Amino acid sequence: MLMIPSPRKIRAAASNTSRKILYGRLADLRSSPADLLDGVREGTVRRYRPARDVVPTGPPVLLVPPPAAGAGAAFDLRRGCSLAEHLVATGRRTYLVDYGQISYADRDLGLEHWVDELLPAAVRRVSEDAGGQPVQLVGWCLGGIFSVLAAAARPGLPIAAIASVGAVADLGRVAPAGALRPLVENGRKMLGIDRYLLRPLTVLTNLDNADLLAQIEAVDAFSDRTAAGPGRSAGERYRSFFRDNDLAGGRIVIAGREVRLADVNVPVLAIAGRSDAVAPWQSVHPLTRTLTGSPRVRFDTAPGGHLGVLTGRAARTTTWARLGKWLDEGALEHGLRASRPRREAAAR
pLDDT > 70 in the chain, percent = 71
258 three-class SS: strand
Tell me the C-alpha distance between 146 and 119, whole Å.
8
pLDDT at residue 196 greater than cutoff 60: no
Instruction: Report the candidate in 77, 87, 73, 93 with the shortest Cα–Cα distance to residue 135.
Output: 93
Written as one string, the DSSP assignment of 175-240 is --HHHHGGGTTTHHHHTHHIIIIIHHHHHHHTTT-HHHHHHHHHHHHHHHHHHHSS---HHHHHHH
Q: How far is CA 170 from CA 1, 246, 288, 310, in A?
A: 48, 8, 11, 20
- For the four alpha carbons of 308, 314, 316 and 322, in that order, the dihedral sign comes to negative
Query: Which ranges in the chain belong to alpha helices (H)?
Result: 7-23, 83-89, 111-112, 119-129, 142-153, 177-180, 187-190, 192-193, 199-205, 210-228, 234-241, 246-249, 281-284, 287-290, 308-311, 319-334, 341-347
User: What's the pLDDT score for residue 337?
Assistant: 67
User: What's the pLDDT score for residue 31?
Assistant: 93
Tell me the C-alpha distance between 348 and 346, whole Å.
5
User: What's the pLDDT score for residue 167?
Assistant: 94
- Provide the whole-model pTM: 0.82
pLDDT for 197-221, tens place per residue? Answer: 446 666 566 666 777 888 888 888 8
Instruction: Report the candidate in 225, 280, 198 with the shortest Cα–Cα distance to residue 31.
Output: 225
User: What's the pLDDT score for residue 178?
Assistant: 41
Q: If residue 302 lies in a helix (H) or strand (E), which one and from where to where?
A: strand 297-302
Instruction: Give me the architecture of the 31-181+244-347 domain, per CATH.
Output: 3-Layer(aba) Sandwich (3.40)
User: What's the pLDDT score for residue 316?
Assistant: 95
